Structure 1
Amino acid sequence: MKIRSILLLAGASSLALATALAAQETVTVETAAAETATSGITLQPITLVADGQENVEATGGITVTPDDIDILQPADVSELFSRDSGITVSGGAGPSKRIHVFGMEQSNLAVSVDGVPQGVTSWHHTGSNVIDPAFLKSVEVEAGAAAADAGFGAAAGAVRYETVGAKDLLQDGRTSGGRVGLSYGTNGRGVSGSLAGFGLYQGFDWFVMLHGANGDNYENGDGKEMPGTEPATQGALTKLGYEFEGHRVELAYEYSKDDADRVIKMNMDLDHTDEVFPLKVSRNTLSLKYSSIAPTDSWDPEAMLYVSRNEYWRPNYATGERAINGDMDLESTTIGGVMKNTYSLDQGKITAGVDWAYDDYRIDNYGDRAPAVHTLETMQIGAFVQGRFEFENGIDVSTGMRLDHQRFTDWNGEQLSDTGASVNATASYEFAEGYEVFAGASQTWLGYDIGEYGLLHARDETFVTAPGYDPAEATNVKLGLNANQGNWTGNLTFFDTRLKGLAEYDTDVNQLVNADDYRSNGFTLQGNYSWGSGRVGASFTKADVTQNGDDVLPNGGTVVPVGQLATLFVDQELAQYNIKFGGTLEWAGDLDGAYLTEAGFENHSSYTVANIYGEWRPENYDNIAVHLNVDNLFDETYYERSSYVQYSPRDVYPLYAPGRTVTLGVKMDF
């Protein structure tokens, strides 16, 4: 069945690529935004292919635009994705937040920041890295069948974070500038500040931004203080670019750190304890990127080298039996790169290239176990080609293939290696003006999954990789309908994602084994309407998440149950008063059943959370913006859907989200 699927998709990919190369007829496709005459608020048409790139929203994905970020003023990723029902974020302090797309945890997606892969989640009580929204320009979440050039390991899609730079913030006609931001929030939000400077000089452009936040523990809607939840982020982003004779080189460095006292498992309320311990989570990333600023149809290259380091440091928690729940010192280092070129044809574009990555992991083994340190490593190299085409008959196609080789060396020095192929194809047909149907599928080879490698901190020398440990695989199928009628757009997507062979650290057999198959299937519905000076949007997602056919339990694993989720938002601009305002509703349905209670878990209660915002720019001072945000307006007591629920056998309680939080901030460009 697997070979048949690969052959069918590979045949479709080859046929589409060959057809586009053979035919050289000009195709004109409408991709202009539906603009209004009185406002800057616009709706982008939802089409499968636009300017040679997939529109991720056209196939059930999510886009957070610069305007969205400016409106939301997010302090963390929970607020960043608050308008998107397809994404849930676990609660608690900043480093504990992990995103899930249709119930699939971020390790199952190809996550990148400015093209640099971010790696897997180290431990299910923390995120894989600290993403500071203060640095973000935009986010794309490609759900399901990801393109071949999305990167290695795109099992259930891809998440692409893009950070700001000098040319994003420079005002017209200026060669230098700066931005300062300051905010204060109630309910522990505290003080947050950022300072940026940027400019152009001859062929050079430069950008430097610093950001930090400091506050206290927040309280939930019932007034209960949640220990270890204080904001404590610090970060820096620098970029230096140089352009010459049609070429561009950019050197970038990003640093982020969260350093504070946290509870021992910071995405749950374990034993109702108030004990906190020092914890530092940090990331350093250095990248060098080359691109052409004068591309031709046959030569539009891009190349990048990068090195990144992630650290999770929490020493001296306890010794003896309790050490398995506490002490942890994790380090991971990645060195990699990508080289690719894009060829432009009358019908679209073809991107081809190679990528590679070497990952080294180090895990201190506390609790008087031997060996004192576990180390493991992976090495991957791959070649890929992806074509995106628009044909005159109303058919659009995106299809591609990649071939990867991976070597895995475990903590005992055992080495496994294998090679696998991945294929994808998505096609749409516009059957009436503004209406199109689409279908897509992918078969993805993931290599040897290492899973939550932080679990090795509690394993001794007898823990081994199981004989016959196999590479993991993913299968995605999606189909749906897009609509675009000027001032309104809509999308309905049915999805089915299956993950096979993911890692599981099985303490019963003392081995790293292949887990039983996971599956997430359901549908997501999106719609937006603009009336010129404002817009309204809504989304609804239903995802059934299972393992080996049984409903998944909310135990913090690689997938979580999410059930039914919905969002509703509205934005309005009063141009004559220089005011913008709006709000967001987040809703989650009940999640209950005997499968939960019989396993010791409580049912998830439904919740509805309202958030509102306002922005004012003083007359004659359009470089100053004053923001007012009220999150959880009605002081709802709730925990986010992908968080832990009460689990009686182990005294696990949910870590509730913040109650009403009011934040006042100001930004000034100069």
Structure 2
Amino acid sequence: MKQRLIFVLANVSTLALASALSAQDLATAPETDSVVLAPITLVADGRENVEATGGITVTPEDIEVLQPVDVSELFARDSAITVSGGAGPSKRIHVFGMEQSNLAVSVDGVPQGVTSWHHTGSNVIDPAFLKSVEVEVGAAAADSGFGAAAGAVRYETVGAQDMLADGQTQGGRVGLSYGTNGRGVAGSLAGYGIHAGFDWFVMLHAADGDNYENGDGREMPGTAPATQGALTKLGYEFEGHRVELAYEYSKDDDDRVIKMNMDLDHADEVFPLKVTRNTLSLKYSSTAPTDAWDPEALVYVTRNEYWRPNYATGARPVNGDMDLEVKTIGGEMKNTYTTGPGTITAGIDWAYDDYRVDNYGDRAPRIHTLETMQIGAFVQGRFEFDNGIDVSTGLRLDHQRFTDWNGERFSDTGASVNGTVSYEFSEGYEVFAGASQTWLGYQVGEFGLLHARDESFATDPGYDPAEASNIKLGLNANQGNWTGNLTFFDTRLKGLGEYDTEIGYLTNADDYRSKGFTLQGNYSWGSGRLGTSFTKADVTQNGEDVLPNGGTVVPVGNIATLYVDQEIPQYNLKVGGTIEWAGKLDGDYLTEAGFDDHESYTVVNLYGEWRPQNYENVVLHLGVDNLLDETYYERSSYVQYDARSVYPLYAPGRTVTLGLTMDF
């Protein structure tokens, strides 16, 4: 089946690429009187329309409205994404129940590492620095990056060009907010400008607060906000070229419970924990591209660290001290060719990852080190034809080497193929179908689990590279002031890394699968908009329903969101709100394994934004999250597990935040 899918997709890709190149000559022929339908939604501006195939786009306008303090609030309007609860570093996103390590996650094009330990996120994304987010689900493009098993997440940060008003050459922004229920004080300061081909941007952000309480008034220990971050960018444009040097730093440093994404034994004891992320990147692009030459190049160095040196082992030595560190150096070079019906992007990317686990002597050996090296070549074509058919298709070829903590080396090469085709059968209405077969290489998995392993733990000699397959099909509608999308998806993950402590191996896990559908709709009336989404995902492993244990894949069931935004121009006012709903998850498979049911919940969030008439550079923002003070836990969090006394880590109760932003 897998070989047949690769063969079919490869033939579709080759045919589409060849057809597009041959069509380039036709594109220069004299115009005829043929009727061309209005542009369809699948491919736009040389890339896929993410929302057109069931994905999610968080625009700059959305971020301005939401004023998110963490990724839970960032994705509050998207039913396809769930976020685990607790403190900022514990938050991991799951798309259709698939954890973020199964997606190609990048920030400004720089790939982000896998999850180090399933009790914490793989990276700390501070929404204060974000410009926009795209979540491409299912069959991701070949140029989305290596390891796009279930899609891709692309975070983009702000820069000087985004902040400067027309005619402005320099400026700044200051932001300050205060929130109840432990949210505390948060502040940011940014300066930016352009001069003689140079542009610069510097932004600092920090937050400090207390533990929050859930809807029942119970304090959740170790949940106080404690983020600090900095983002700097320096760009220079000259004679059709642009180079940009960027540095991003984030830190969360506070006392946390030993496992941040669960409430273990209702214990209130906390321990020092610091999670840091450093990224340095240098990017080149052309500001005067031609049809044959539109290059981009990127090199980067990153360092992520999880530092917990003062945990008293006590009765749970397996939870002991640890220092997890990942250093990565990598790069990408690509060029986009414009043909008659579209574009073809081709290039190479590579990355070297060095992992280090220090357990401070709680186990022998004290230090585990491992490394991976990947290099890949890719080509992706995106074409719009006059007959109403659009095609996006591509191929990747990757080679990877994995050296484990015992010096055992594994290496292999694999191919990945993707294709998505749409047909606009009536103006503003299209059907689409997409599929991909993706080679993922050797999965490192949650390498932080090595902190509790002794010298007998090894990699399975028969350890195989992981793979993923995706199928999606659906319908899009676009009728001016309203749009809609229905996407059916089926994602399978085969051979992911699993640290099996019973057999003492890093080995291949049983196959995971997530299938279901997502429905999106939006309506705009000029001064306002209404949007809704509904997702149903059935998540299984080896054919059995997945248990809610906070791992690589989690059950999500039925989730829906509804939001509304309304401008009131005569008062320079904007108001709106979001409703988040999750259906009940129950069944014998839960109770027989010692888990409680997931109760249904409904959460209401409201906001208001006001710009004083004589001070257009000042914005006051009032937000009320969880208006009804609901006691709930998000779908990717744990539920009770009798054998270990694990209880849900509840989300915050009612929280009111007042913020002030001023541009100058």
Normalised by the size of structure 1, how large is the TM-score? 0.97
CA contact 1:319–1:367 (8 Å) conserved in 2: no
Give runs of aligned pairs for residues 390-469 of structure 1, distance below 5 A: 390-469=384-463
- Specify the alignment match of 1:531 in structure 2: 525
- Distance in 2 (CA, whole Å) between partners of 1:201 and 1:323 is 57
Matching residue of 1:34: none
In structure 1, the partner of 2:8 is 8
State the alpha-carbon separation in 2 of the partners of residues 659 and 319 from structure 1. Answer: 32
1:346 aligns with 2:360: no
**1:483 matched to 2:489:** no
> How many Å apart are 1:567 and its aligned residue?
0.1
Helix, strand or coil: the match of 1:95?
A: helix
Distance, in Å, in 2 between the alignment partners of 1:156 and 1:308 is 24
Alignment partner of 1:251 out of 245, 248, 253: 245
Q: Secondary structure at the match of 1:324?
A: helix
- The count of aligned residue pairs is 656
| Worse-superposed segment, 401-410 or 367-376 | 367-376
- Is the CA contact 2:320–2:362 (under 8 Å) kept in the aligned structure 1? no
Q: Aligned-pair distance for 1:366?
A: 4.2
- 1:138-537 aligned at under 5 Å gives the runs 138-319=132-313, 322-366=316-360, 368-537=362-531
Match of 2:56 in 1: 62
Q: Secondary structure at the match of 2:14?
A: helix
Cα deviations across residues 615-641 of structure 1 (Å, max 9, x unaligned)? 000002111000000000010000011
Using the aligned pairs only, state the percent identity: 83
TM-aligned CA deviation for residue 365 of structure 1: 2.8
CA distance in 1, matches of 2:462, 2:632: 44
Give per-residue Cα distances to partners, 1:282-305, cap 9 Å, x unaligned: 000000000000000000000000
Counterparts of 2:444 and 2:389 in 1: how far apart (Å)? 40
Distance 1:293 1:622 in 2: 33
Per-residue Cα deviation, 1:102-125 (whole angstroms, up to 9, x for no partner): 000000000000000001000000
Deviation (angstroms), 1:52: 1.6
* Residue range with higher mean Cα deviation, 50-59 or 207-216: 50-59
Q: Larger deviation: 316-325 or 605-614?
A: 316-325
Looking at structure 2, the residues matched to 375 and 192 of structure 1 have their Cα atoms a distance apart, in angstroms, of 37
Choose the corresponding residue for 1:591, options 565, 578, 585.
585
- Among 559, 563, 567, the alignment partner of 1:565 is 559
Compute the displacement of 1:316 (Å).
Answer: 2.4
1:261-311 CA distance string (max 9 Å, x none)? 000111111110110000000000000000000000000000000000000
Letter in 2 for 1:5: L
SS of residue paired to 1:648: coil
Q: SS where residue 23 of structure 1 aligns? A: helix
Shift of 1:30: 4.3
CA offset digits 1:593-613 (Å, max 9, x no partner): 000000000000000000000
Taking the aligned partners of 1:469 and 1:176, their CA distance within structure 2 comes to 55
Aligned-partner SS, 2:643: helix
Where structure 2 has 5 or more consecutive residues not aligned to the other structure, the ranges are: none
Contact kept, 8 Å, 2:606 with 2:625, in 1: the verdict is yes
For the 8 Å contact 2:363–2:451, the answer to whether it is kept is no
| Letter paired with 1:10 | A
Q: Determine the C-alpha separation between the residues in 2 that align with 1:534 and 1:389.
A: 33
The one-letter code matched in structure 1 to 2:15 is: L
Contact persistence 2:548–2:639 (CA under 8 A): yes
The offset of 1:318, in angstroms, is 2.1
Q: Does the Cα contact within 8 Å between 1:324 and 1:366 map onto a contact in 2?
A: no
CA-to-aligned-CA distance 1:328-384 (integer Å, 9 cap, x gap) = 210000000000000001200000000000000000134532111000000000000
| Residue 467 of structure 1, CA deviation | 1.4
Give the superposed CA RMSD. 1.0
Distance 1:368 1:646 in 2: 29
* Range with bigger deviation, 144-153 or 360-369: 360-369
Match of 1:133 in 2: 127
Taking a change above 3 Å as real, the CA distance of residues 350 and 564 of structure 1, as seen in their structure-2 partners, is same
Structure 1: distance between partners of 2:505 and 2:360: 19
Aligned to 1:49: 43
- Structure 1 gap ranges (5+): 32-45
Contact 1:324 1:367 in 2 (8 A): no
- Summarize deviations over 1:153-206 as a string: whole Å, max 9, x none: 000000000000000000110100000000000000000000000000101000
**Contact 1:123/1:454 (8 A) holds in 2:** yes
SS for the counterpart of 1:663 is strand
Secondary structure at the residue paired with 2:9? helix
Residue of structure 1 in register with 2:638 after alignment? 644
The answer to whether the 8 A contact 2:38-2:427 is kept is no
- Once the two structures are superposed, the pairs formed by residues 571-650 of structure 1 within 5 Å of their partners are 571-650=565-644
The Cα shift of 1:326 comes to 3.0
Per-residue deviation, residues 633-657 of structure 1 (Å, max 9, x unmatched): 0100000111011111101000100
Q: CA deviation at 1:399?
A: 0.1
User: What displacement does 1:322 show?
Assistant: 2.0
Deviation (angstroms), 1:325:
1.3
> 2:114 — aligned with what?
120
The Cα shift of 1:323 comes to 2.4
CA distance in 2, matches of 1:323, 1:174: 59
Work out the CA distance in 2 between the residues paired with 1:192 and 1:365: 34
Work out whether residues 607 and 638 of structure 1, in 8 Å CA contact, stay in contact via their aligned partners in 2. Answer: yes
Amino acid at match of 1:202: A
Q: Is the 8 A contact 2:272 2:310 kept in 1?
A: no
Residues 662/319 of structure 1: CA separation in 2 closer, same or farther (3 Å cut)? closer
Query: Hey, what does 2:546 align to over in structure 1?
Result: 552
- The runs of at least 4 consecutive aligned structure 1 residues that moved more than 6 Å come to none
| Cα distance in structure 1, aligned partners of 2:187 and 2:38 | 42
Q: Deviations over 1:214-253 (max 9, x none)?
A: 0000000010000000000000000000000000000000
CA distance in 1, matches of 2:205, 2:414: 42
CA contact (8 A) 1:323 1:366 kept: no
CA contact (8 A) 2:539 2:554 kept: yes
